[in-house]
Amino acid sequence: MTGRTSPIWQFRSRIPSRPGRPGRTGRLAAAILLVLVGVLAGCSGGEDNPLVVPGDTPDTLAPGAAVIELADVTLKPRVVEITEGGSVAWVNRDRTTHQLASLAPNVFESPRVGPGESFTTAFTKPGTYPYYCTIHNEMKGTIVVYYAN
């Protein structure tokens, strides 16, 4: 043995890099981050996690009720703000039937609302309530209920 060899504890792997392509570690980190963002997004909203605190009521809030139009398979407006005890009415001006439900269980679920029909429900607890149309999943909205002053 004429050449000098390094001891095993000084062994270094020489893996050629591939520019422009993420390695396994980068892909794994991205996948973990994506899952974490999805989990955190699923934890927001509903009765158990109200995002409204006392005294946080906007000045321009309609206190009693809000109306949301269902037209062209969209919600107009997508976000409404009311005070506790207020109600929201969904009016179907579309050519198709809709059915609305909160993402949080046991908050509200409408019957099927046909063209020209409406559905109204009251919100007694402050919080942020995301909801969607069970027939047209792309129709999503949010009801924000503030404490009454």
pLDDT at 7: 57
Predicted confidence (pLDDT) per residue in 38-68, tens digit: 444 444 444 443 444 444 444 444 557 999 9
- The answer, yes or no, to whether residue 11 has pLDDT greater than 70, is no
Topology at the third CATH level for domain 23-149:
Immunoglobulin-like (2.60.40)
CB atoms under 10 Å from CB of 52, counted, come to 17
Q: Which band of pLDDT confidence, cut at 50, 70 and 90, is reported for residue 122? A: very high
Q: Which band of pLDDT confidence, cut at 50, 70 and 90, is reported for residue 27? A: low
Q: Which band of pLDDT confidence, cut at 50, 70 and 90, is reported for residue 5? A: low
Selection from 69, 74, 46, 77 nearest residue 116 by Cα: 69
Global model pTM greater than 0.75: no
| pLDDT averaged over every residue in the chain | 76
8 A C-beta contact, residue 132 and residue 101: yes
As a whole-number percent, the residues of the chain with pLDDT over 90 amount to 55
CA distance 87 to 77: 15
